[in-house]
Homo-oligomer: A and B are copies of this chain.
Amino acid sequence: MISLTRENDVFTLTMDAGENRWNTTFVRDIDKALDEVEASSGPAALVTRSTDTKFFSNGLDLEWRQDPSAHPEGGDADAFGAEFMALMGRFITLPVPTICAINGHAFGAGFMVALCHDIRIMREDRGFLCANEMAIGFRIPSAELALFRHKLSGSAFYETVQFSRRWGGPDALAAGVVQHVASMEVIPELAQQIAEQSAPLAANRELFGDQKQRLFGENSVLNLPHGAAHMLKNADQFG
C-alpha cells in the first residue's frame, strides 16, 4: 500500500492503493515511512508520488468513515482526525526538502498532503487540485483552512476554499499553487532532479527543520499566534 525506496540521497514514498483514500491505517503506514526518513542523517530529500495514473489522492476513505465496522482494514475511526492532521503537521515541518509529484487528481485530504510539501510538480495535461467542501456542503476544518492560507496567495486561497475552484495544471502554476508542471512521463525525473539538488540543505537537519517550525509552528516568527503546523498538530478532530 505504501513503499519507501531510496536512490542516492532521495527517498521516494509511493502510495499504491488506487485512489489513495485516507483512513487510519493509511495514516499510520505513512507515519512509519517518515520515521525511516527521519532516522537517516546527512543530505536527503523526499519525493511523494502515487502509482495510479488518474489519482494522486482522492480524499478521505468515505466508505470507511460512514461505516468503519464494515471496513476494519481502515483502522481505528476515532483516532483518524487527530492523527491525520498531526501527520500533515509532520509533513509541513519535515526537516528535509519535500517534493510532491502530483500525477493525478488531488482532492480534499489529497490536496492537503500536496500542500504540506515544500515543492509541488503537477501533471500539465490532466488532473485537478480541489477542496470541494463548499460545493458538496461540508465544513472545512479549521486546521485545513489555516494550511491553505499559509501555502496559497490570498486570492488563490479564497477561490479554493470559498468557491471550491478546481485547479488544472497551467492555472495552478500561474497562481503559484504548484511550482512546476510537466508531462506524466517527465514528472518522475524532474522530481528526482529537484530532490537531488535540494538534498544538501538537509545536511544540517536541525537548522532546516527548526526554520520550518519557526515558519509554521506555535510561536511562529511570522507573527501569527497559531501557526499552521501548530493547529494541525493540535486538532482534536477532523472538524
Interface residue ranges, A against B (CB under 8 Å) = 97, 118, 134-135, 137-140, 142, 145-146, 149-155, 158, 161-164, 176, 179, 198, 201, 203-204, 207-208, 210-212, 214-215, 221-228, 231
Contact = CB atoms under 8 A, between A and B. Distances in A.
Q: Please list the 7 inter-chain residue pairs (A to B) with the smallest Cβ-Cβ separation, ordered nearest first.
A: A223-B224, A142-B221, A155-B176, A145-B221, A223-B226, A149-B222, A137-B204
Nearest to A159: B179
A198 B145 contact: no
A74 to B, nearest CB: 27
Contacts of A227: 223
Contact of A163 (B97, B215, B228, B231): B97
Given A139-B211, A163-B198, A223-B228, 9 more contacts: A134-B201, A140-B211, A142-B221, A145-B221, A146-B222, A154-B176, A162-B215, A223-B226, A224-B224
Contacts of A198: 163
A163 B222 contact: no
Contact of A161 (B162, B203, B211, B224): B211
10 contacts: A134-B201, A135-B201, A139-B210, A151-B154, A155-B176, A155-B179, A158-B215, A162-B215, A223-B226, A223-B231
Contact of A155 (B137, B153, B221, B228): B153
Nearest to A228: B223
Contact of A142 (B153, B204, B214, B226): B214
A223 B226 CA distance: 6
A153 B175 CA distance: 12
A150 B163 CA distance: 17
A134 to B, nearest CB: 6
Contact of A207 (B134, B149, B221, B228): B134
A114 to B, nearest CB: 14
A150 to B, nearest CB: 7
Contacts of A162: 118, 201, 208, 211-212, 215
A47 to B, nearest CB: 16
A153 B157 CA distance: 11
